């Protein structure tokens, strides 16, 4: 019974990892609908994205969002699940396209889902004081029934505008300054001003013009391509300008994108299906340079394997998964007999988890992965005295701990005293499975000692 499992584990461990350069941009998790931003005073480029659940053939199973950041467009950090359907009591599912906007010192993700009450898409907000979340639900934006694929654009006079659309129709409206409601009577339908439009509107400005980009269906035929239109104001009227991302080798059934200037160069973010072997449904993020012609038109993009990672040779992965221990339910994590503390300076994220005193007290974080793959696990912790705790990867129960299935891992770990400083423990290489991989660190009654402070878990790529 266990032999085939162990044999398949050996095969997984030996299988050579696929090599990628710049595209797929994120090659560790299936993600889609990228919305890219550069926040004032922050040198990082941020990408907010939806997540395709591995092993499904529909987008109706989507239920979480990820955030990614980079400073060099080559090495990326994935902050894991930053918002999950479980955190949105009003939402029944279909956590589709997302955007993010910063107002004052608060980051708002603007997301959509099917409403439990009316079975229709609505647009909602969730907030965080950190760009990477985790985000906590604020509920639906008033007046957004039908609100699939939202994005928000803040004009130079600070007026926020909401764009949304699906099923061939695209709309725009003013939002109230707190983003909580559509301004009555400000809604306009843009559909007739656009060509081939289907869904996913996103607005940016260039040289004083408003650019509305959107996925569309040429002659109503799938897959989607990316189109754009320009206007002199955020609500239009828009003039259709053309196609800027045609079909390409790894086009998925859908496309969806955003445009941002980073370190002096313009980038088009979009998605394709190379990572899933071209199944058309499970998507991966893509990024390619975007060029404006002198007349303001966008030169059509031919997506490349190099993408925006200039001169970088293909490698297995350059994505590090960073999971904050304290993120808890917003990130599908669990705290048992522990709490979040902030007294000790030097932590990352919103705090750290402690004190691991009860017999089974601990923390579980979820590492999402598109495929079976290996990663080197580090745990950032602090301890005044030597500690010993137990780590489990991919066990959700205590069953059969002596006969691990592929990807299961169970080990007592010693955490030497750091004298109260923060330090990273190198746990070694672990195996992840496609989907959700629970990583549980806890006190085992027989040997655990308590008194551990856990800041975050980091899963670094292995060559
Ligand atoms: O990711 C789910 C849906 O697919 C998006 O909301 C659409 O824009 C399309 O990309």
What are the residues facing 289 on neighbouring strands?
Answer: 267
Residue 374 DSSP class:
E
Strand-by-strand arrangement of the 160-166 sheet: 151-154, 160-166, 169-174, 188-189
Confirm or reject: Cβ of 115 under 6 Å from ligand 1: no
Substitution site in 29, 57, 96, 273 for ligand 1 pocket (most atoms within 8 Å of beta carbon): 96
Question: What atom of ligand 1 comes closest to residue 148's alpha carbon?
Answer: 6
User: How many Cα atoms occupy the beta-carbon half-sphere of 339 within 13 Å?
Assistant: 3
Confirm or reject: Cβ of 373 under 6 Å from ligand 1: no
Confirm or reject: Cβ of 326 under 6 Å from ligand 1: no
CA 28 to each of CA 152, 229, 233, 306, 374: distance values in angstroms, whole numbers, following the listed order: 28, 33, 39, 17, 10
pLDDT tens column, 166-212:
999 999 999 999 999 999 999 999 999 999 999 999 999 999 999 99
Substitution site in 109, 245, 254 for ligand 1 pocket (most atoms within 8 Å of beta carbon): 254
Distance CA 330, CA 223 (A): 33
Specify the residue with its C-alpha closest to ligand 1, atom 8.
200
Specify the residue with its C-alpha closest to ligand 1, atom 3.
96
Question: What atom of ligand 1 comes closest to residue 50's alpha carbon?
Answer: 1
Distance CA 282, CA 253 (A): 9
Measure 166 CA to ligand 1 centroid, in angstroms.
Answer: 9
SS3 state at 9: helix
Distance CA 352, CA 314 (A): 36
Specify the residue with its C-alpha closest to ligand 1, atom 2.
96
Buried b (16+ CB within 10 A) or exposed e, 242-257: ebbbeebebbbebbbb
pLDDT tens column, 207-222:
999 999 999 999 999 9
Write out the DSSP string of 120-164.
SEEEEEEEESSTT---EEEEEPBT-TT--S-EEEE-TTS-EEEEE
Confirm or reject: Cβ of 204 under 6 Å from ligand 1: no
Contact call for residues 455 and 380 (beta carbons, < 8 A): yes
Contact call for residues 448 and 390 (beta carbons, < 8 A): yes
Specify the residue with its C-alpha closest to ligand 1, atom 1.
96
Confirm or reject: Cβ of 121 under 6 Å from ligand 1: no
pLDDT in tens, the chain (463 residues): 232 333 333 334 444 567 889 999 999 999 999 999 999 999 999 999 999 998 899 999 999 999 999 999 999 999 999 999 999 999 999 999 999 999 999 999 999 999 999 999 999 999 999 999 999 999 999 999 999 999 999 999 999 999 999 999 999 999 999 999 999 999 999 999 999 999 999 999 999 999 999 999 999 999 999 999 999 999 999 999 999 999 999 999 999 999 999 999 999 999 999 999 999 999 999 999 999 999 999 999 999 999 999 999 998 889 999 999 999 889 999 999 999 999 999 999 999 999 998 889 999 999 999 998 999 999 999 999 999 999 999 875 444 444 445 566 778 899 999 999 999 999 998 889 899 999 999 998 776 667 899 999 999 999 7
What are the sequence ranges of the domains in the chain? Answer: 16-316, 323-461
Distance CA 132, CA 140 (A): 21
Contact call for residues 34 and 285 (beta carbons, < 8 A): yes
Q: Which residue has tokens 């998507």?
A: 283
SS3 state at 11: helix
Give the CATH H-level superfamily of domain 16-316.
Answer: Glycosyl hydrolase domain; family 43 (2.115.10.20)
Distance CA 217, CA 55 (A): 26
Report the top-level CATH class of 323-461: mainly beta
Contact call for residues 176 and 184 (beta carbons, < 8 A): no
């Amino acid at each position: 019974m266990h032999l085939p499992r162990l044999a398949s584990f050996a095969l997984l461990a030996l299988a050579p990892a696929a090599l990628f350069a710049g595209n797929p941009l994120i090659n560790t998790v299936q993600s889609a609908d990228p919305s890219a931003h550069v926040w004032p005073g922050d040198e990082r480029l941020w990408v907010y994205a939806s997540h395709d659940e591995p092993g499904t053939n529909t987008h109706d199973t989507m239920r979480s969002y990820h955030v990614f950041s980079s400073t060099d467009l080559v090495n990326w950090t994935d902050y894991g699940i930053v918002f999950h359907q479980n955190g949105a009591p009003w939402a029944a599912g279909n956590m589709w396209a997302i955007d993010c906007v910063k107002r004052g010192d608060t980051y708002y993700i603007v997301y959509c889902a099917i409403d439990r009450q009316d079975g229709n898409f609505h647009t909602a907000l969730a907030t965080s004081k950190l760009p990477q979340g985790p985000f906590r639900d604020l509920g639906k934006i008033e007046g957004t029934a039908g609100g699939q694929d939202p994005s928000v654009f803040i004009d130079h006079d600070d007026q926020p505008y909401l764009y949304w659309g699906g099923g061939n129709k695209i709309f725009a409206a003013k939002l109230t300054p707190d983003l909580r409601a559509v301004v009555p009577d400000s809604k306009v339908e843009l559909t007739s001003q656009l060509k081939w439009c289907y869904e996913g509107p996103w607005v940016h400005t260039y040289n004083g013009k408003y650019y509305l980009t959107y996925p569309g269906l040429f002659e109503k035929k799938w897959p989607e391509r990316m189109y754009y239109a320009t206007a002199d104001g955020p609500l239009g009227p828009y003039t259709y300008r053309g196609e800027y991302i045609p079909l390409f080798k790894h086009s998925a059934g859908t496309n969806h994108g955003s445009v941002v200037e980073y370190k002096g160069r313009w980038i088009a973010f979009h998605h394709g299906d190379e990572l899933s072997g071209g199944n058309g449904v499970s998507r991966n993020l893509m990024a390619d340079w975007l060029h404006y012609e002198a007349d303001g038109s966008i030169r059509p993009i031919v997506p490349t394997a190099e993408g925006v990672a200039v001169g970088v040779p293909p490698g297995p992965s350059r994505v590090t998964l960073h999971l904050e221990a304290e993120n808890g339910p917003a990130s599908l994590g669990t705290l048992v007999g522990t709490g979040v503390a902030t007294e000790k300076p030097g932590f990352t994220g919103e705090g750290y988890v402690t004190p691991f005193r009860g017999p089974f007290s601990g923390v579980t974080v979820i590492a999402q992965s598109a495929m079976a793959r290996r990663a080197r696990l580090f745990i950032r912790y602090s301890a005044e005295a030597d500690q010993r705790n137990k780590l489990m990867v991919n066990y959700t129960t205590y069953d059969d701990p002596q006969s691990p299935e592929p990807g299961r891992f169970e080990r007592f770990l010693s955490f030497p005293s750091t004298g109260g400083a923060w330090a990273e423990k190198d746990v070694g290489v672990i195996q992840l499975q496609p989907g959700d991989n629970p990583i549980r660190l806890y006190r085992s009654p027989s040997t655990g000692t308590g008194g551990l402070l856990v800041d975050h878990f980091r899963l670094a790529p292995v060559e």
